[in-house]
């Protein structure tokens, strides 16, 4: 799998919107109620021009002054009542939409996170973590405004324009059609803007993702930056990334700055056309000697037509803003769907089975594996690990030791050969069942923010406090925990940086043991810890040898002298095998490594 930004699929707007609406389906009730309220809002808002026209006619009518005042008070009352009702409608409609919109974004965010968790280790290695964070946070947040305001606002504005246009046709067909001559220009400009804006929003999202990826990587490695005194270099690199983002954002802004005034210009042009033609007709009536009442009616109609023409184009101004947000949301949706459409490389087969009564037998049959095509890391590897054996893998860096461990838990799939677990092809075993039966203790320990207890139990509610304590006692870390102020409730800071490497390793060991795995994998687990912690782990390992199959990758050969079998790897091949004494007697690669470490 390549980087998400390299495989962005350019989808049609209609397909993206259709897919986004699927997430709105559970909250259809909220949208329907908002839509009904919106209809009342449009009707009441459309009455404003009619009230203004009526007021103008009333002022120029032959009624007595007292009756005029009485009718004017009535018109003002209707206007105020309409305004209060519209405000109430907008309030309740926003409550419904915000509630639905936030729930939808939560659902999308959870779905994206769950999907990312299903991706294989190989896929994670090819995509910067910062980009995945951007997909889960920034891109889903951009969708929020689309659901909460843009969609309904677009529908409301379009409905408002249709209602205004119909009313204008009823009042005067000719003037309405004259005003409509500007609509084709609106359509052409909007179509051009949509095309340019979408591509520009893609560029903005890409640069924004790059900034987040840079931040995530460099904040995680800030200690190394300080050690090598590279702060100024990193500052320049971040400034460059920000400059690229600002450049793309300015281009996006320029597009909108051009588009919005053009829409305003066309609306004013339409209003001027209405004023000219309606005003001309009024002047013609005056010149022809028409009565004052007839002229007053025409003036009232002119006011109404002018106001309706303004009201017709006013939603267009709002639509231009909504359209801007919509293009941003659609660009973000493309990024989100790129993640969701990425198929995990490691998945359960349709006929996958559960591991029942797992004995711990593991067999590699002529296994070939490469991370990059034709660059073989493992070459025709074959071996068998019997239940309750302790097996070790040694060899120089890059010989394939850790790769074998990753294949056993199916972080990757082999290109050639077969791996059998209790005689079952590993690809026919359900991933949850396989990984649940195999405990892994990596060299690079990761502790989560929380407490010691939550880290050992891995926030699994089914793990009891007694089981946590028992696991800590088993690995020998309980005496240290008991010295802490809050003992097992002592706070673990990010990555466990308030503990030593050895202490973190012991917590990791307890976390692995609490689930009572049948097979235990230790991938250079004692390579970077102190002698005291190593001695504690070694004592625990010796106690475990009778209850679990042990697979150990070790640089320190002193830690594997009691292993039942040791495999020596070199350039992806098994070149020696036997127990410690047998390998020493061969005086081969293992013997050389042992003598080198002994010195």
For residue 192, what is the domain's CATH number?
1.20.1560.10
Longest dimension (CA), the chain: 127
Q: Rounded CA gap, 465 and 468, in Å?
A: 5
132 and 195 housed in the same domain: yes
- DSSP string covering 120-165: -HHHHHHS-HHHHHHIIIIIHHHHHHIIIIIHHHHHHHHHHHHHHH
Question: Between 263 and 316, where is the model more confident?
Answer: 263
pLDDT over 50 (residue 53): yes
The count of domains in the chain is 2
Closest CA to 118 of 353, 336, 343: 343
pLDDT over 70 (residue 8): no
Closest CA to 391 of 586, 534, 541: 541
How is residue 288 annotated by DSSP? T
pLDDT over 80 (residue 58): no
Average pLDDT, the chain: 80
> What is the average per-residue pLDDT within 487-514?
82
pLDDT over 50 (residue 560): yes
Q: Tell me if 225 is assigned to some domain.
A: no
8 and 153 housed in the same domain: yes
436 and 573 housed in the same domain: yes
Lowest mean pLDDT among 141-150, 263-272, 448-457, 586-595: 141-150
Q: Tell me if 228 is assigned to some domain.
A: no
55 pLDDT tier (thresholds 50, 70, 90): low
> What is the average per-residue pLDDT within 60-79?
72
Domain that includes residue 273, residue range: 4-207+253-340
Per-residue buried b or exposed e for 425-436, using 16+ beta carbons within 10 Å of the residue's own CB: ebbebebebbbe
- Mean pLDDT is highest, among 37-46, 532-541, 568-577, 587-596, for 568-577
373 and 328 housed in the same domain: no
Quick check: 586 and 566 in contact, CB under 8 A? no
pLDDT over 60 (residue 3): no
- Which residues are bridge partners to 520 per DSSP? 439, 550
422: Cβ contacts below 8 Å, ≥ 6 apart: 355, 358, 359, 360, 361
> What is the average per-residue pLDDT within 83-87?
83
Q: Rounded CA gap, 422 and 355, in Å?
A: 9
Closest CA to 355 of 404, 408, 401, 402: 408
Helix%, strand%, coil% for the chain, nearest 5:
70, 10, 20
Q: Tell me if 212 is assigned to some domain.
A: no
pLDDT over 50 (residue 249): yes
Per-residue buried b or exposed e for 24-34, using 16+ beta carbons within 10 Å of the residue's own CB: beebeebbeeb
Rg (the chain; Cα; Å): 36
426 pLDDT tier (thresholds 50, 70, 90): very high
551 and 412 housed in the same domain: yes
pLDDT over 90 (residue 366): yes
Quick check: 264 and 315 in contact, CB under 8 A? no
321 and 376 housed in the same domain: no
For residue 384, what is the domain's CATH number?
3.40.50.300
Lowest mean pLDDT among 58-72, 154-168, 396-410: 58-72
Q: What is the pLDDT of residue 292?
A: 60
Q: What is the pLDDT of residue 142?
A: 78
Q: Rounded CA gap, 246 and 474, in Å?
A: 56
Closest CA to 213 of 4, 7, 495: 4
**What is the CB-side half-sphere exposure of residue 278 using CA atoms within 13 A?**
29
> What is the average per-residue pLDDT within 556-578?
87
Closest CA to 414 of 425, 423, 399: 425
pTM given for the model: 0.70
371 and 461 housed in the same domain: yes
Q: What is the pLDDT of residue 322?
A: 75
1 pLDDT tier (thresholds 50, 70, 90): very low
């Amino acid at each position: 799998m390549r980087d998400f930004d390299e495989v962005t699929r350019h989808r049609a707007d209609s397909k993206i919107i259709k897919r986004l609406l699927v997430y709105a389906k559970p909250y259809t009730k909220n949208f329907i109620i908002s839509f009904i309220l919106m209809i009342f809002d449009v009707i009441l808002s459309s009455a404003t021009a009619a009230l203004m026209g009526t007021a103008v006619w009333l002022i120029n009518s032959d009624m007595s002054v007292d009756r005029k005042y009485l009718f004017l008070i009535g018109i003002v009352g209707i206007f105020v009542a309409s305004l209060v009702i519209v405000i109430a409608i907008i309030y309740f409609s926003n409550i419904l939409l915000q509630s639905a919109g936030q729930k939808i974004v939560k659902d999308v965010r959870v779905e994206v996170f769950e999907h990312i968790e299903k991706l294989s280790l190989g896929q994670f290695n090819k995509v910067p973590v910062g980009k995945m964070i951007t997909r889960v946070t920034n891109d889903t947040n951009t969708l929020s405004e689309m659901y909460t305001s843009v969609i309904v606002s677009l529908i409301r504005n379009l409905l408002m324009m249709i209602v205004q246009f119909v009313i204008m046709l009823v009042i005067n067909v000719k003037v309405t059609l004259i005003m409509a001559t500007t609509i084709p220009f609106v359509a052409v400009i909007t179509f051009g803007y949509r095309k340019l804006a979408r591509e520009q929003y893609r560029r903005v999202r890409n640069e924004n993702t790059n900034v987040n990826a840079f931040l995530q990587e460099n904040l995680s490695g800030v200690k190394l930056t300080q050690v090598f005194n590279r702060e100024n270099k990193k500052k320049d690199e971040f400034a460059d990334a920000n400059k690229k983002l600002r450049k793309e954002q300015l281009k996006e802004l320029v597009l909108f700055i051009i588009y919005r005034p053009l829409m305003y210009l066309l609306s004013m042009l339409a209003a001027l056309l209405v004023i000219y033609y309606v005003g001309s007709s009024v002047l013609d009536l005056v010149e022809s000697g028409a009565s004052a009442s007839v002229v007053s009616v025409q003036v009232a109609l002119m006011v109404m037509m002018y106001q309706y023409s303004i009201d017709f184009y006013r939603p267009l101004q709002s639509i231009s803003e909504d359209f801007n947000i919509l293009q941003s949301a659609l660009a973000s949706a493309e990024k989100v769907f790129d993640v969701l459409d990425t198929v995990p490389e490691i998945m359960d087969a349709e006929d996958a089975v559960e591991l029942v009564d797992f004995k711990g037998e593991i067999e590699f049959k002529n296994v070939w594996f490469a991370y990059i095509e034709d660059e073989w890391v493992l070459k025709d590897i074959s071996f068998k690990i019997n239940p309750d054996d302790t097996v070790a893998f040694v060899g120089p860096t890059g010989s394939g030791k850790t790769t074998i461990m990753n294949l056993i838990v199916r972080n990757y799939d082999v290109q050639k050969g077969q791996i059998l677990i209790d005689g079952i092809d590993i690809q026919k075993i359900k991933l949850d069942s396989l990984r649940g039966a195999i405990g892994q203790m990596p060299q690079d320990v990761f502790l989560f923010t929380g407490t010691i207890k939550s880290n050992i139990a891995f926030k699994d509610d089914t793990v009891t406090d007694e089981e946590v304590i028992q696991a800590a006692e088993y690995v020998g870390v309980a005496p240290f925990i008991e010295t802490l102020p809050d003992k097992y409730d002592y706070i673990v800071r990010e990555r466990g940086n308030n503990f030593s490497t050895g202490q973190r390793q012991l917590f990791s060991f307890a976390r692995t043991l609490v689930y009572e795995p049948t097979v235990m994998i230790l991938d250079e687990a004692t390579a970077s810890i102190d002698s005291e912690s190593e001695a504690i782990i070694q004592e625990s390992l010796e106690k475990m040898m009778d209850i679990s199959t042990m697979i150990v990758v070790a640089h320190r050969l002193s830690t594997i002298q009691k292993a039942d079998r040791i495999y020596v790897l070199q350039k992806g091949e098994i070149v020696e095998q036997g127990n410690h004494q047998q390998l020493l007697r061969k005086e081969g690669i293992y013997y050389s490594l042992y003598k080198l470490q002994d010195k």
